[in-house]
């Protein structure tokens, strides 16, 4: 099994991965054929703009899953705001049939699912911090 795949920027080394899921508004099953391909391409473009790397993804008829590696200066909410906002606008401009279903409104439902991933557990981090502890029975200690 391979270790973590750290990414580097000018002053940072990181491994921040998130599982993100969002759905179409009203759960309409519109993500098929050319529309699904275009949605995938737009999501790739938007992630590239923010230097977020898609590790794995899946476009289903009414929702999208991505596992994405995100730089530390990009919040999940900022990433999702860009993905959903830009892709919705461009999809509606390019696929006029969406206006019949969405009346010019958003393609994506409000909200999204987000979960972090990683190879270091909370217990590993606690143990690492405790090994640097010179004081006893403290949650937030000062070393000597």
Residue whose token pair is 């401009």: 93
Residue 137, both tokens: 């029975």
pLDDT at 110: 95
Instruction: Quick: pLDDT tens for 19-31.
Output: 999 999 999 999 9
Instruction: Quick: pLDDT tens for 90-109.
Output: 999 999 999 888 886 899 99
* Statement: residue 53 has pLDDT above 90: yes
- Backbone conformation region of residue 23, classed left if phi is above 0, alpha if psi is from -120 to 50, else beta: beta
* Statement: residue 139 has pLDDT above 90: no
* CA-CA-CA-CA torsion sign (67, 70, 115, 121): positive
The CATH homologous superfamily for domain 14-118 is Transposase IS200-like (3.30.70.1290)
What HEC string does the chain produce? CCCCCCEECCCCEECCEEEEEEEEHHHCCCCCHHHHHHHHHHHHHHHHHCCCEEEEEEECCCEEEEEEECCCCCCHHHHHHHHHHHHHHHHHHHCCCHHHHHCCCCCECCCCEEEEECCCCHHHHHHHHHCCCCCCCCCCCCCC
Of residues 6, 14, 102, 128, which has the active-site annotation?
128
Higher confidence at residue 101 or residue 132? 101
User: Which of these ranges, 6-15, 37-46, 68-77, 82-91, has the smallest mean pLDDT?
Assistant: 6-15
Q: Is 6 a catalytic residue?
A: no
Return phi, psi of residue 101, to 5°.
-85, -35
Whether residue 87 contacts residue 56, with contact meaning beta carbons closer than 8 Å, is answered with no
Domain boundaries, the chain: 14-118
Q: What is the pTM of this model?
A: 0.82
């Amino acid at each position: 099994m391979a270790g973590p795949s750290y990414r580097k920027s000018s002053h940072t080394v990181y491994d921040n991965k998130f599982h993100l899921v969002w759905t179409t508004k009203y759960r309409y099953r519109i993500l098929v054929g050319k529309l699904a391909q275009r949605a995938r391409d737009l999501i790739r473009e938007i992630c590239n703009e923010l230097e977020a790397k898609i590790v794995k993804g899946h476009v289903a008829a009414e929702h999208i899953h991505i596992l994405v590696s995100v730089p530390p200066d990009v919040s999940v909410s900022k990433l999702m705001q860009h993905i959903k906002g830009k892709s919705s606008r461009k999809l509606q401009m390019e696929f006029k049939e969406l206006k019949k279903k969405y009346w010019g409104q958003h393609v994506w439902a409000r909200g999204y699912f987000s979960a972090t991933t990683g190879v270091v557990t909370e217990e590993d981090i606690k143990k690492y911090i405790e090994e640097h502890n010179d004081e006893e029975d403290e949650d937030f200690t000062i070393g000597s």
